[in-house]
Amino acid sequence: MTSQDERRAFWEERLAADWTETGVGYRALGRPFNEWMYRVRREVFLERAGALDMDLTRARVLDVGSGTGFYVQAWRDLGVASVTGCDLTEAAVARLRRRFPGLRFERLDIADPGDTLAGADFDAVSCMDVLFHITDDDRYTAALESVARLVRPGGYFVLSENFLHRPVQRGANQVNRTIGWITGQLDRVGFDVVRRSPFLVLMNAQVDAGPVWRKTWGGTLRAATLTGPTGWLAGAALYPLERRLVRTRQESPTTEIMVCRRR
């Protein structure tokens, strides 16, 4: 299990060296492919967040694990009244403050945020592709408890996760947990699941698929993205199919987006 200091050092180094979609995305597939992948993520996020039952023009939003500011910008494009961001790393926060002058960004660990955001009362909190990087289960639960304290009753929590239907997968910097365990923790801290749907289908690691397909497709993606030009072509070829799949499938073998509401 990776310690908290090791986890922060890992992300400080990674984001200081590569503050792009590749730095926060599927690094092995290269930047051109990741840029196509993030086009799909953006479209799905805007559709789901834009459909929340609240007045976006008055909404106060917190984005957890802001990274490059991808979802901060998405919230701004939706026209929310205010966005606050936070990240585990100084590398990200310093750059976010330069990219979005006038917005508030804090360096904190959402599993142990202290009093940095004490008294805040957000209409929505987003936490995209962040929670599965918390490798300790107790800290994962603590992160959900922190989010629950920050969302007003009736407010929303938008997250992406790998919601496995197969046994948990544990790695040094990522843990893919079961859907039952995650939804159980969400319920315990006061969230009701409103909707769960694909965030991606083919353009990411097939963590919830069978071993043959998981290895076959993973190898195919890595081979197709060995160079920048071939990665761009692979992304361009998959993009229209991926857009269709995320809208027509009910389940995904990879990352899904979930909308929860605070009781």
> Tens digit of pLDDT per residue, the chain (263 long)?
556 677 667 767 777 777 677 666 678 899 999 999 999 999 999 999 999 999 999 999 999 999 999 999 999 999 999 999 999 999 999 999 999 999 999 999 999 999 999 888 999 999 999 999 999 999 999 999 999 999 999 999 999 999 999 999 999 889 999 999 999 999 999 999 999 999 999 999 999 999 999 999 999 999 999 999 999 999 999 999 999 999 999 999 999 999 999 99
4 φ, ψ (degrees, to nearest 5)? -60, -40
- At 230 the three-state DSSP class reads helix
Question: Residue holding tokens 């802001």?
Answer: 66
CATH number of residue 111's parent domain: 3.40.50.150
Q: What is the pTM of this model?
A: 0.93
Number of domains in the chain: 1
**Does residue 34 contact residue 22 with C-beta atoms inside 8 Å?**
yes
- d(CA 245, CA 251) in angstroms, rounded, equals 10
- d(CA 146, CA 134) in angstroms, rounded, equals 14
CA dihedral angle for residue 183, residue 70, residue 151, residue 98, rounded to 10 degrees:
150
Please give the residue range of the domain that contains residue 135.
4-262
For residue 212, give Cα distances in angstroms to 65, 166, 178, 216, 218.
33, 14, 20, 6, 10
Single-letter code of the amino acid located at 22: T
- At 61 the three-state DSSP class reads strand
- d(CA 45, CA 70) in angstroms, rounded, equals 11
